[in-house]
Amino acid sequence: MSRALLEVRRLVKRFGGLTVIDDVSFSIPTGQRTALIGPNGAGKTMLFNLLTGVYPPSSGAIFLDDVNLTRVPAVQRVGCGLARTFQNIRLVGHLTALENVLLGQQHRSGGVAGALQAVLFGSNNRWAKEAREGLRAASLHTYADTLVRHLPFGVRKQVELVRAMMARPKLLLLDEPAAGLNPAETGELKRQLEAIAAGGVTVLVIEHDMAFVGEYCDAVIVLNFGRKIATGTPGEVRRLPEVREAYLGTEATVGAD
Amino acid sequence: MLAQQLVNGLLLGSIYTLVGVAFTMTIGVLNFLNFSIPAIFMLGGMLSWALIVLAGLPWLGAVALGLAAGGIASLIVERFTYRWLKTTHPDVPLISSVAFLVLFEHLVILHLGAHIQRFPVPFGDANIRAAGLIISIPQLCALGIAIGLVLVLDQVLRRTQLGRCLRAIAESPDTARLLGVDTNRIVPALFGISGMFTALGGILFATNYLQVSPFIGNEVALKGVAAMIIGGMGNIWGAVLGGLMIGIAESLSIHFVGGAAAETVIFAALLLFLCIRPTGLFGDRAVRAQRV
Amino acid sequence: MSGYAEGLLVLLSINVIVAYAAFLPLAAGQLNLGVAGFMAIGAYAAAFLSNTLGWPVFATVGCAALASGAAGLVVGYPVLRARGIYLVLATLAFGELVRSGLLNLDFVGGAAGYPVSGYAGYQAVAGVALGVVAFVAWLYHTRLGLNMMAVRDDEVAAEQFGVKVRNVKAAAFAIGALLAGIAGALYGHHFSYIEAQHFNVVQSVYIAMYVLLGGVQTVAGPLLGALFFTLIPELFRVGDTWRFVIFAVVLILTMVWRPEGLVDRDLLQRLRPGRAR
């Protein structure tokens, strides 16, 4: 099997007297598609924020591809191979889809010289071409020059995904990618995520849509009140009483096991 | 001599205290630096002068109307800055309040002239002489009024429904609204109160210096802000202490290094404070962290 | 060109340059109310070099730019650690500190002001203004421009993708300070006289006002703001006091109905039907 791409050891995060992540440990092998599930407030997005460096952990360690990320500042983590999307879409509304996607290339763009390369407003250099190609691959090329604030919700989610992939991550963190999508859009999302996984990217996704999790993910980590309460395949996890009680409810209606 | 400077400084500082409290109230509750406050300071003084000298009203009545005008002007500001602009980039309400500062100042220049005017007072030159110090009674009253009003405000914030609502809004405007706080009435009330505080400051300024002009707001603006910063944004007793400290600092600077350099000293001190201890002596609650 | 039109063109040019000086930090999300202080640094540096060393105008303006740009970097890094209102107040305090400090420096005239020997005609001033517009337009096309816009909109998200937020803010601040220095230097060289009292917080405030009126989403916004501010007396045929009343009212109303400013990205896109941009 593959070795661990992401390893989280005894991660703890406290805010004053409140412990939001309580001694969480897990590892994700390269290429595995993992879901992070749990009730609202369980700490899933907080875990992402710890992984990407928005907050420093109170204790514990994070290793990505054997590199200790724990003390690495947030701005450098994307360079180590991490990219993410956000629960509430965080694109710049008054820029076009293309311009937002260009931001994903930032860490590859090369220092001061890179900063001074013209990339916006009709530039046609390699960066713009690459960004357009990324949008084309996601069938979004017709939206490339539209301001994001005029784009429909589902399209904006896809643009965020393209932006994240533009960072060429090893590990892709998706925060509720299917939330708010209709069935057709969810199907398209799955197709794109299949292609991403086939391309060798390891995916960790926060999701509430258990059908989606069942179809797409190899493994599930369950959080509740900041603690990891279970891991396993989607099928295994669905059957665990503590998971049902905490999250799925006593009558599980998620389809055939 | 030093004692006299300290006394002068305290009395000077009481005016800065009122402006500082006005600033700190709006920042503490609404996270909004209301730059129209110096203009309302000026309106209190200038409108009172106009009512006394041009309209011939009795002193007390004119001053009361001047105060009321300050409150009303503040309500107008609220209507066109905070009320509409909560959801957009934070620069915007600030700049709108600045625009009101420009507007009020120039409207007063147009209608009342740009000159310094003599401000009449109904009492003569009353001084107490004690322990070798000269203390002007009007200035002493100003200090007493300022501290008294802050005491009242403190009680209002702590014990009344209005105070509770204001503190709820300070924690989180959205939650407060969900809990039934009628922000559409409470926020204007806050603006009105802070407007009257600063208008009173303008009237006290005019009473103490016996003159008033459309530019007095500019003189106190930065000092009022400094009082707010030193005390900690959102802390009204901090603003009192900050105002008094700035008054004393200014008085001592004028005595030892002269007027022009005194200004430099104050700006340097403010800049230093902002870089080293921006939360002030007592810490601030106003600047909310960005939520992820 | 009549003397009057020349004077107006010079004022407009300087207002345009200083508009972009305020625009760059704003585009990265910071309000610099000490712009006039950096103008003063540029003006006095250029005047000093011109008066005491007799350097030609292009050299003095160049040095003025470097001096104010360096000041922008030196002041910027510590001050930018402050956030939100603290940052605004710190820049304001800095601007006033420069003004009152220069007022006390007698070797550059002190309170009496400082005459400037080198002269820059209206063509030179207007030419530099055009150059500044072109420069900022180019800068806004670059990845740095994109980073600035991303930082203004959502600092945390920008950082997650590797944008060095602190550096971007400092760069915007310092380049803005540099432009302000150029404006100050040209002002001194054209009007042949500078005094510290002129470069005060009220100036900085007016500049910020017309930049925000024009809009900070696009490069065209500050230009329009500067145009409006400079030309109100011509457009409305009013004197000095009414001009500020009109300006203030227009700004207040614009901020209520169009807080992004008169020119925003949408408008720009609609004005270019053929091109995708």
Please report which confidence band the pLDDT of residue B87 belongs to, taking 50, 70 and 90 as the band edges. Answer: low
Answer yes or no: is pLDDT of B287 > 60: no
3-state secondary structure of A40: coil
Give the pLDDT confidence of A172-191 residue by residue, as tens digits. 999 999 988 988 889 999 99
Q: Where are the domains of chain C?
A: 3-199
What is the rounded CA–CA span in Å between residue C26 and residue C21? Answer: 9
Predicted local confidence at residue A253, as pLDDT: 53
Question: Containing H/E element for C99?
Answer: helix C84-103
Predicted local confidence at residue B285, as pLDDT: 54
Predicted local confidence at residue C184, as pLDDT: 97
Nearest-neighbour CA in chain C from A115: distance (Å): 5
Least confident range of A220-224, B288-292, C47-51, C117-121:
B288-292
What is the bridge-based pairing of β-strands A33-37 and A202-206? parallel
Nearest CB partner across the interface for B99, out of C84, C252, C260: C252
Predicted local confidence at residue B223, as pLDDT: 87
- B94 belongs to a structural domain: yes
Q: What is chain B's mean pLDDT, rounded? A: 85
- B181 belongs to a structural domain: yes
Locate A216 and state its tokens.
Answer: 């797409």
Contacts of B292 in chain A (CB under 8 A): 45, 49, 54-55
Answer yes or no: is pLDDT of B288 > 60: no
CA angle B26, B231, C86 (to 5 degrees): 65
| Contact between residue C176 and residue C22 where contact means Cβ atoms under 8 Å apart | yes
Give the pLDDT confidence of B155-212 residue by residue, as tens digits. 888 888 888 888 888 887 778 888 888 878 888 999 999 999 999 999 999 988 889 9
Q: Domain of B28?
A: 18-222
Give the pLDDT confidence of A77-106 residue by residue, as tens digits. 999 999 999 999 999 999 999 999 999 999
Give the pLDDT confidence of A48-61 residue by residue, as tens digits. 999 999 999 999 99
Q: What is the number of H-type helices and E-type strands within chain A?
A: 10, 10
What is the rounded CA–CA span in Å between residue A156 and residue A97? Answer: 8
A141 by Cβ neighbours in 10 Å (0-12 / 13-18 / 19+) ranks as middle
Locate C49 and state its tokens.
Answer: 């070099």
Predicted local confidence at residue B157, as pLDDT: 86
Chains that touch B (3 or more CB pairs under 8 A): A, C
For residue A18, the one-letter residue type is: L
Contacts of C150 in chain A (CB under 8 A): 92, 103
Q: Could you tell me which residues of chain B have a Cβ less than 8 Å from any Cβ in chain C? A: 27, 33, 80-81, 84-85, 88-96, 98-100, 102-103, 105-107, 109-110, 218, 222, 225, 229, 233, 260-261, 263-264, 267-268, 270-271, 274-275, 278, 286-287, 290, 292
Nearest-neighbour CA in chain B from C80: distance (Å): 9
Is the CB of A83 inside 8 Å of chain C's CB atoms? Answer: yes
Please report which confidence band the pLDDT of residue C276 belongs to, taking 50, 70 and 90 as the band edges. Answer: very low
Answer yes or no: is pLDDT of C242 > 90: yes
Q: What is the dihedral of CA A217, A221, A222, A224, to 10 degrees?
A: -140
Q: Give the mutation candidate from C33, C97, C200, C229 for the B interface (greatest B CB count, under 10 A).
A: C97
Please report which confidence band the pLDDT of residue B69 belongs to, taking 50, 70 and 90 as the band edges. Answer: very high
Domains of chain A in start order, with CATH, are 1-81+169-257 (3.40.50.300), 91-168 (no CATH)
Answer yes or no: is pLDDT of B290 > 50: no
The count of other CB atoms within 10 Å of the CB of residue B272 is 12
Q: Please provide the size of chain B in residues.
A: 292
| Secondary structure (H, E, C), chain B | CHHHHHHHHHHHHHHHHHHHHHHHHHHHHHCCCCCCHHHHHHHHHHHHHHHHHHCCCCHHHHHHHHHHHHHHHHHHHHHHCHHHHCCCCCHHHHHHHHHHHHHHHHHHHHHHCCCCEECCCCCCCCEEEECCEEEEHHHHHHHHHHHHHHHHHHHHHHHCHHHHHHHHHHHCHHHHHHCCCCHHHHHHHHHHHHHHHHHHHHHHHHHHHCEECCCHHHHHHHHHHHHHHHHCCCCHHHHHHHHHHHHHHHHHHHHHHCHHHHHHHHHHHHHHHHHHCCCCCCCCCCCCCCCC
Least confident range of C15-19, C48-52, C104-108, C165-169:
C104-108
Stated pTM of the model: 0.90
What is the bridge-based pairing of β-strands A67-68 and A59-64? antiparallel
Mean pLDDT, rounded, for B245-274: 81
- B194 belongs to a structural domain: yes
Cβ pairs bridging B and C (under 8 Å): 128
Contacts of B267 in chain C (CB under 8 A): 93-94, 96-97, 100
Domains contained in chain B, number: 1
Q: What is chain C's mean pLDDT, rounded? A: 92
Mean pLDDT, rounded, for B100-112: 95
Cα–Cα distances (Å) from C108 to B176, B217, C62, C111, in that order, read 56, 29, 19, 9
Q: Which of A149-153, B283-287, C273-277 has the highest mean pLDDT?
A: A149-153
| Contact between residue A190 and residue A201 where contact means Cβ atoms under 8 Å apart | no
Interface of B with A in 273-292 (CB under 8 A): 292
Answer yes or no: is pLDDT of B126 > 80: no
Nearest CB partner across the interface for C252, out of B100, B263, B287: B100
Task: Provide the CA C244 distance to its chain's centre, in angstroms.
Answer: 19
Chains that touch A (3 or more CB pairs under 8 A): B, C
Give the pLDDT confidence of A188-198 residue by residue, as tens digits. 999 999 999 99
Least confident range of B14-18, B56-60, C56-60:
B56-60
What is the rounded CA–CA span in Å between residue A252 and residue A100? Answer: 40
- B137 belongs to a structural domain: yes
Predicted local confidence at residue B85, as pLDDT: 62
| Contact between residue B142 and residue B13 where contact means Cβ atoms under 8 Å apart | no
Closest residue of chain C to B273, computed from CA coordinates? C90
Please report which confidence band the pLDDT of residue C213 belongs to, taking 50, 70 and 90 as the band edges. Answer: very high
Which phi and psi angles does C176 have, rounded to 5°? -60, -45
Nearest CB partner across the interface for B264, out of C92, C97, C111: C97
| Contact: B80, C84; criterion CB under 8 Å | no
Predicted local confidence at residue C277, as pLDDT: 38
Predicted local confidence at residue B86, as pLDDT: 59
| Contact between residue B78 and residue B191 where contact means Cβ atoms under 8 Å apart | yes
| Contact: B278, C86; criterion CB under 8 Å | yes
Is the CB of A74 inside 8 Å of chain C's CB atoms? Answer: yes
Locate C60 and state its tokens.
Answer: 């003095």
Nearest CB partner across the interface for C277, out of A94, A104, A122: A122
Locate C265 and state its tokens.
Answer: 């990205």
Answer yes or no: is pLDDT of C275 > 50: no
